[in-house]
Amino acid sequence: MLYNRTGNSGLLLPAISLGLWHNFGTTHVHEGKRAIVRRAFELGITHFDLANNYGPPPGSAEDAFGQILREEFAAHRDEMIISTKAGYHMWDGPYGEWGSRKYMIASLNQSLKRLGLDYVDVYYSHRFDPSTPLEETMGALDFAVRSGKALYAGISNYPAAATRKAAAILKKLGTPCLIHQPRFNMLQQEPLKEGVFKAAHESAMGVICFSPLAQGMLTSKYLNGIPEGSRATVGQFLKKDQITAPLVKKVKALNAMAEARAQTLAQMAIAWVLSHKEVTSALIGASRPEQIEDAVGALKTSKFSKVELAQINRVLTQ
């Protein structure tokens, strides 16, 4: 594994991190979840990303990960970076979502209970709340760090202007913002185009990109139809109708380029994300341990020539 410095901080994150958004709810058997986490850690993936609402049902991914920590990793806590977030709907009523101090701190307390931990390494505001003063949300992150319930503060899905403002508030409070977590992959490049990378980089933050495989669309999985059991057949977040003929045409062209580079499409997609200088880590998901092995193989052929990058761009903009 390669470990990259997170912005200007002292923290090194693995180039590939594992997220538990899917496949860790009560819908999946415990042994499968444990095997995924175990294989990731064996391969040097020290960073595990959660959120209060991961499941289904919400909270169950943190429950499952807490159980895995107790069963397998009790002796390894200091070798792991565990993050969680709050921002999306978690419980009913006026205090169960967005960015108030009330919600952010109550949710962190709940997450720590589910995880069975005294602290998380990174606590994120999961989304920008336009109705709450940013000073309040950032103040809650600062408080989480000062109270020892989190070691670092992060933001996710924040637009560029809010990113700069959040960083300035946190800096003033004395708890620098460690990291930004946007969605970024070959098919979804908004953070690069809309200045989020630039804002994070200029604010001394690291960047960890979620869904580098576009939920599986940037793998060989959907080249010849939609396989049973794939995320597009079960997922609420990836719909069958997103696997369109024009998409498959693009993905086939990208797959041929990956083959020419002697790597899988998943590996090329991850290497492409990591080729951006602002990016600290690619945050993958996995439904089985073999997918993690495939992902880690991306680090073997991680460089791109200018010609290859131009070729990829041509395919993506066709």
Pick the closer one to ligand NAP by CB: 203 or 230. 230
Cα(313)–Cα(253) distance, integer angstroms: 11
As measured in angstroms, the least distance from the Cβ of 53 to ligand NAP is 10
Cα(240)–Cα(315) distance, integer angstroms: 22
Q: Quick one: which of 16, 21, 25, 108 contacts ligand NAP (CB under 6 A)?
A: 21
Site mask, ligand NAP, residues 229-268, x = CB under 6 A?
A: -xx----------------------------------x--
Pick the closer one to ligand NAP by CB: 299 or 310. 299
Q: Quick one: which of 100, 156, 263, 280 contacts ligand NAP (CB under 6 A)?
A: 156
User: Residue-wise over 247-260: b if at least 16 C-beta within 10 A, else e?
Assistant: ebebbeebbebbee
Cis peptide, bond prior to residue 289, ω within 30 of zero: no
**CA within 13 Å, CB half, 203:** 30
154 near ligand NAP (CB under 6 A):
no
Pick the closer one to ligand NAP by CB: 185 or 203. 185
- Per DSSP bridges, beta strands 150-156 and 47-49 are unpaired
211 near ligand NAP (CB under 6 A):
yes
Site mask, ligand NAP, residues 76-115, x = CB under 6 A?
A: ----------------------------------------
Q: Which residues contact 43 (CB under 8 A, 6 or more apart)?
A: 1, 292, 293, 296
What DSSP designation does 300 have? G
What is the C-alpha end-to-end distance of the chain, expressed in Å? 34
User: Residue-wise over 220-237: b if at least 16 C-beta within 10 A, else e?
Assistant: bbbeeeeeeebbbeeeee
Q: Quick one: which of 6, 294, 296, 312 contacts ligand NAP (CB under 6 A)?
A: 294
As measured in angstroms, the least distance from the Cβ of 131 to ligand NAP is 19
What does the binding site for ligand NAP look like in residue numbers (CB under 6 A)? 19-22, 49, 126, 156-157, 181, 210-216, 219, 221, 230-231, 266, 283-287, 291, 294
